Amino acid sequence: MHYYPLTELGNPILRAKAKPLPPAYLKTAAFKKLVKDMFYTMHRAQGVGLVAPQIGKSIQLAVIEVRKTKHRSRSAPFPRTVLVNPVITWRSKELVHSWEGCLSFKDLRGLATRHKEIKVSYLDEKGKKISRKLKDFPAIVFQHEIDHLNGHVYLDRVADMRAVMTLNEFKKRITI
């Protein structure tokens, strides 16, 4: 397994719109290895989502998995999911505020505004077209990762910059 060093905030790759993947690429051994290595990198970095631009590749590929850990004991697990060329096709009017962090700038937390529910379309790792509705924490994770593929970070979704803090202060002050 290969661990990729993560690109960090300030790197223009995180501000670029990533290129769609041609479906034929999904059949290649290189793609399968890339997906495995992205999960490995995400788990080692203790994240719940990772996009290809965070490992230096400007392509529309994201991996998501929420495992139960002692740090995340209150989030329901979400199964291993691969998103290729994802598009949000519907957003609820109802908004929620979520404290978010990002593997590309790990020492901050910010209160982002998100849609409570979304509908999303994407190809799975086998190239099958999936359309599904998500709500609550999984919907927030999908919005965070799909934002990345369009050159946005969660700080862009923070309405009041006073609701950005260091991880140390966050741990002292916020219980979620």
Active site residues: 145
Cα distance between residue 95 and residue 118, in whole Å? 11
Alpha carbon distances (Å) from 95 to 101, 103, 112, 120, 136: 18, 24, 10, 17, 10
In terms of CB distance, is 71 or 126 closer to Zn ion?
A: 71
Gyration radius from the chain CA atoms: 16
Please state whether 46 falls in left (phi above 0), alpha (psi between -120 and 50) or beta. Answer: left
* Side chain identity at residue 72, one-letter code: R
CB of 148 to Zn ion, least distance (A): 6
Name the residue with the smallest CB distance to Zn ion: 102
In terms of CB distance, is 35 or 102 closer to Zn ion?
A: 102
CB of 123 to Zn ion, least distance (A): 21
- The SS3 call for residue 60 is coil
In terms of CB distance, is 38 or 102 closer to Zn ion?
A: 102
CB of 54 to Zn ion, least distance (A): 7
What residues make contact with Zn ion under the rule CB under 5 A? 102
In terms of CB distance, is 115 or 144 closer to Zn ion?
A: 144
Determine the length of the chain.
176
Residue 128 token pair = 């099958």
Q: 2: closest CA among 22, 30, 27, 24?
A: 30
Phi, psi of 145 (to 5 degrees): -75, -40
CB of 15 to Zn ion, least distance (A): 13
